[in-house]
Amino acid sequence: MADRSKPASRLPAWLVDQQSLAAKASDEFWKIGQAKNRGDDPMTTIYNISDEALEKLGIFKKVEKLQVEVTESQGRPSAIGEQRQFVSVEPDKIRKNEFRDSRPLAKVQKRKASKSPARDSIEPRKASRTLNTGFVPAEMPIAESSKVGAARKPSTSLDRPAAEDRSAKVPKSEAETKYEPKDLPEWLKTINNVTMARELKRPDKERTQALRSLDAFKDCIRRCEDAAAAKKPEAQLEKLFEELRDHVHKAEIVLKGVDKLVVRKTNMLTIQNGLPRIFMGTIDLDYPWDLRADAWQLYLRWHRQDFKTDLLRGIVTRKEKDRASDRIDPEWAKDPLKKIPANYHGQGHLVLGQWWPTQLCAVRDGAHGTPQGGIWGAKGKGAYSIVLSGGGPGYKDRDEGDTIWYSGTDKKEADSSDPTENTQRLIESCDEFPDRPVRVLRSSQLSATNRYRPKYGLRYDGLYRLVEYELLDKSKQEHLFKLVRCENQNPIRCENNAARRPTKYEEEEFLKLKR
């Protein structure tokens, strides 16, 4: 038996050296990992080696530019699942750690994803195709609405370029047309499979037709994606887009029988199988901008349980041709899902080209705030929206598409010292809130020679900025305002092409109201 009173024999020197090296290497690897997670450079933070020394050692080569793969949104090497593109990066930016290895970030994202709660049971677990959920184009097309033909010159001093500090650019958050799907609504989650199966077994001709139509709708989406993935000719893809437009526009206006059970059964609000596949796009396919906008509009309606296709839904109608005595249904106004206020700046929930048969319908959907007046705003906040309708005798309105000259409301009493309330809202927007654009709606009451005039009803044509105004008649407080259409918006949907609004289905339903 060994004598415990004697000290243990010392380890061989070579083994002690190996243990020391292993401990040191383990410590160095741990420090390197910590530095990478912080986004620091291990060579400078751990080993205290300067950039100049690294250059002398030949680690950094002096080149003019390097092509580094980065993401558009975050400016770092692409992590798993992110949209990729290449940009030119100076070597000194690499030395300053502006573009680091993304593997630690990808691991963190993967750990977070594993801890996130499971998706709702009504959504399929796997998508059939990869969605482009995070990529937004770096630049949006600029509207060229009024650049066809020679512009008319108004006989006022407002016919001059806007001041530099009032440039007609929408803030980036407003300019980028980015449609993000919402969480599944609570009313959809409460429908269980047993209840849905029992209700759908009951004979209902309109509901059955709606189910068939929406199945054909989704099949058209699939064929568009397959054609794009297979690199089919452009003409074939355009034909499929036109078919898909018909499905979207029919569902908006003429498809009867759609209700919450039909939407639940067909998964039209889910990312994997429904409308988000259009307005979000896929890696292989980016749908036309007007098709994405109209799909987003339909998605929002169904999301808030607005399934009726009647143009005058939510309106109490009277038997009069001019519809001046119509009013919003009080029951509709009480529904928090359907009541949409109009006291906000910017585009909000609207889409470019959205159309209404009457101004009251635009009020119902939160595009404008008054069924009669042309100016909507609030004291101390400026104007929210205006309606171009020709004004009347004495008004000096001019419409050149991207540039508008708009008359304020005149005072009825002569020698008035203050403008009207509505005119003051426009003055506030111009003087105090030049960074808050106003919504512009065009009416079919405009002159028939106006190329931007909708054929029927009213159409939302985008955001405009009030850049300046002129007092034409002090005794009447007559003001003329100049508005310039904000950049980074798609064209006004007035041309005779596939993007035009109102659509042929909207026109047909509008004419039925006149009978």
pLDDT at residue number 60:
42
Cβ neighbours, 10 Å, residue 323: 19
Tell me the average pLDDT across 133-139: 35
Cα–Cα distance between 368 and 348 in angstroms, integer? 12
Cα–Cα distance between 457 and 427 in angstroms, integer? 28
- The answer, yes or no, to whether residue 81 has pLDDT greater than 50, is no
- Looking at residue 166, the DSSP 8-state letter turns out to be G
Tell me the average pLDDT across 255-272: 95
pLDDT at residue number 205:
93
CA angle 174, 178, 181 (to 5 degrees): 125
Cα–Cα distance between 415 and 67 in angstroms, integer? 69
94/333: higher pLDDT: 333
- Looking at residue 510, the DSSP 8-state letter turns out to be H
pLDDT at residue number 357:
96
Domain 154-180+318-515 has CATH 2.30.280.10: yes
Tell me the average pLDDT across 495-501: 93
**Which range has the worst mean pLDDT, 49-63, 227-241, 431-445?**
49-63
Q: How confident is the model at residue 108 (pLDDT cuts 50, 70, 90)?
A: very low
Query: Which amino acid type is present at position 206?
Result: E
- Sketch the domain layout of the chain as residue ranges: 25-109, 154-180+318-515, 186-303
Cα–Cα distance between 214 and 451 in angstroms, integer? 36
Please say whether the beta carbons of 464 and 440 come within 8 A. Answer: yes
Q: What is the 3-state secondary structure (H, E, C) of 199-260?
A: HHHCCCHHHHHHHHHHHHHHHHHHHHHHHHHCCCCHHHHHHHHHHHHHHHHHHHHCCCCCCH
Closest residue by Cα to residue 398 from 447, 458, 460, 329: 447
Q: What is the pTM of this model?
A: 0.69
Cα 347 → chain centroid: 9
- The answer, yes or no, to whether residue 133 has pLDDT greater than 60, is no
- The answer, yes or no, to whether residue 159 has pLDDT greater than 80, is no
* Mean pLDDT of all residues belonging to the chain: 77
- Looking at residue 148, the DSSP 8-state letter turns out to be S
pLDDT at residue number 75:
39
pLDDT at residue number 354:
97
Tell me the average pLDDT across 404-427: 86
In order, the DSSP letters of 244-259 are HHHHHHHHHHT-----
Q: Crossing angle, helix 205-229 and helix 234-253, to 10 degrees? A: 160
Query: In the numeric block, which tokens belong to residue 344?
Result: 């906000």
- The answer, yes or no, to whether residue 321 has pLDDT greater than 80, is no
Cβ neighbours, 10 Å, residue 450: 18
